């Protein structure tokens, strides 16, 4: 499969981007970018925005990883809960771990961020962070990028002229993919693939060149072989290699799938996984999950997310609004915290 994938002719993915610091500051405009760098076990935050770059010494990598593990444990606990379960312990962890993550990842830089849109460029080992838990970022639209150049490249991707939406409903979902028909009613130009149409052959054909793709399916992360991480379709898995055969990746992608944003670090802060393949292929923005998702709570979360998108919000702005809207329901709030935005759209 790898040999066949490597022999496929290249598509229309954007080329390599080289950018200077002044060029990056110009691209950011009123936004801001925080690149987190690890040196000898210590994290440093470089905050770029409004014409300046400032360096801050944050915390220890080990502390950040420990806090991230606790946060994902609590998110998994909430995701697997049933009505009536006592979630006090898990919710207390989520409340306490946010300040710990902030101290370790940002340190004093957190006081200089405000509520402007933020791009975070973390080390490869720290990509699966629930950024919305950090107190300084709770009201801030946050998107994650593998590098500043990757963010600029995603930002420069032009949307297709046709705002075609593709919705996919995979098999075996507890709710039967209840969000899909609800979301379909929000759009005009929409294609829905479900049951016998949700196959690993038909889905890529429909996704090719779409403005927005939403896939509700069981996700599997393969730590032993990250490029075989997959989404479950009616006839089998949809893998990274299937996405790489697209002539043009969807402009926006929303993966309503457990662990779909998880990747394995490789090389110098690179990441291998399902979503890491989409940005280089030309997708401008992705929403995916760093943890399992609660089957019931994900339905209203996704419907609210699409309503925000319909009102003109970016992916990061829409997800931030969803977190605020679900503040009264702890399971919905935790489900929204399990989602992250990647790219630039």
Where are the CATH 3.30.420 domain residues in the chain?
21-152
What average pLDDT does the structure give for the chain?
90
Q: Taking 70 as the threshold, does the pLDDT of residue 114 lie above it?
A: yes
Q: How confident is the model at residue 345 (pLDDT cuts 50, 70, 90)?
A: confident
This prediction's pTM:
0.91
pLDDT of residue 272: 72
Q: How confident is the model at residue 229 (pLDDT cuts 50, 70, 90)?
A: confident
Report which of residues 107 and 243 the model is more confident about.
Answer: 107
C-alpha of 312 from chain center: 19
Polymer length of the chain? 345
Q: Taking 90 as the threshold, does the pLDDT of residue 245 lie above it?
A: no
pLDDT of residue 62: 97
CA atoms within 13 A on the CB side of 118: 29
Domain 21-152 is found in CATH 3.30.420? yes
Q: Which CATH class is domain 2-12+155-343?
A: alpha beta
pLDDT of residue 224: 74
pLDDT tens, 289-336? 999 999 999 999 999 999 999 999 999 999 999 999 877 899 999 999
Q: At what angle do helices 330-337 and 298-310 cross, to 10 degrees?
A: 60
Structure tokens at 33: 């970018």
Q: Are 73 and 50 in contact (CB under 8 A)?
A: no
pLDDT of residue 277: 77
Residues 6+ apart with CB under 8 A from 335: 78, 79, 293, 294, 297, 298, 301, 326
Q: Taking 70 as the threshold, does the pLDDT of residue 100 lie above it?
A: yes
Q: Are 287 and 339 in contact (CB under 8 A)?
A: yes
Where are the CATH 3.40.50.1460 domain residues in the chain?
2-12+155-343
pLDDT tens, 20-77? 899 999 999 989 999 999 999 999 999 999 899 999 999 999 999 999 999 999 999 9
Structure tokens at 291: 């943890």
């Amino acid at each position: 499969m790898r040999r066949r994938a490597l022999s496929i002719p290249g598509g229309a993915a954007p080329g390599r981007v080289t950018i200077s610091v002044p060029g990056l500051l110009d691209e950011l405009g009123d936004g801001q970018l925080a690149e987190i760098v690890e040196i000898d076990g210590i994290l440093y935050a470089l905050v770029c925005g409004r014409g300046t770059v400032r360096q801050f010494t944050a915390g220890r990598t080990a502390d950040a990883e420990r806090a991230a593990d606790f946060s994902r444990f609590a998110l998994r606990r909430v995701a697997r809960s049933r009505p009536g379960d006592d979630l006090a312990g898990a919710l207390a962890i989520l409340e306490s771990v946010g300040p710990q993550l902030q101290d370790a990842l940002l340190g004093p830089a957190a006081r200089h961020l405000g509520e402007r849109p933020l791009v975070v460029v973390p080390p490869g080992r720290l990509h699966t962070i629930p950024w919305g838990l950090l107190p300084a970022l709770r009201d801030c639209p946050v998107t994650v990028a593998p590098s500043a150049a990757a963010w600029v490249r995603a930002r420069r991707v032009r949307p297709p002229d046709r705002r075609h939406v593709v919705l996919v409903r995979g098999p075996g979902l507890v709710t039967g993919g209840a969000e899909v028909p609800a979301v379909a009613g929000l759009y005009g130009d929409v294609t829905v693939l479900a049951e016998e149409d949700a196959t690993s052959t038909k889905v890529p054909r429909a996704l090719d060149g779409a403005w927005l793709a939403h896939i509700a399916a069981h996700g599997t992360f393969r730590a032993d072989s990250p490029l075989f991480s997959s989404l479950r379709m009616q006839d089998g898995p949809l893998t990274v290699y299937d996405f790489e055969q697209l002539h043009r990746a969807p402009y926006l992608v929303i993966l309503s799938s457990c662990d779909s944003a998880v990747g394995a670090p490789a090389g110098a802060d690179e990441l291998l996984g399902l979503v890491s393949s989409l940005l280089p292929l030309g997708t401008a923005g992705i929403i995916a999950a760093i943890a399992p998702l609660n089957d019931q709570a994900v339905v209203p979360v996704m419907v609210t997310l699409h309503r925000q998108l319909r009102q003109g919000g970016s992916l990061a702005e829409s997800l931030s609004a969803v977190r605020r809207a679900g503040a009264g329901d702890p399971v919905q709030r935790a489900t929204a915290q399990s989602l992250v935005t990647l790219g630039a759209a």
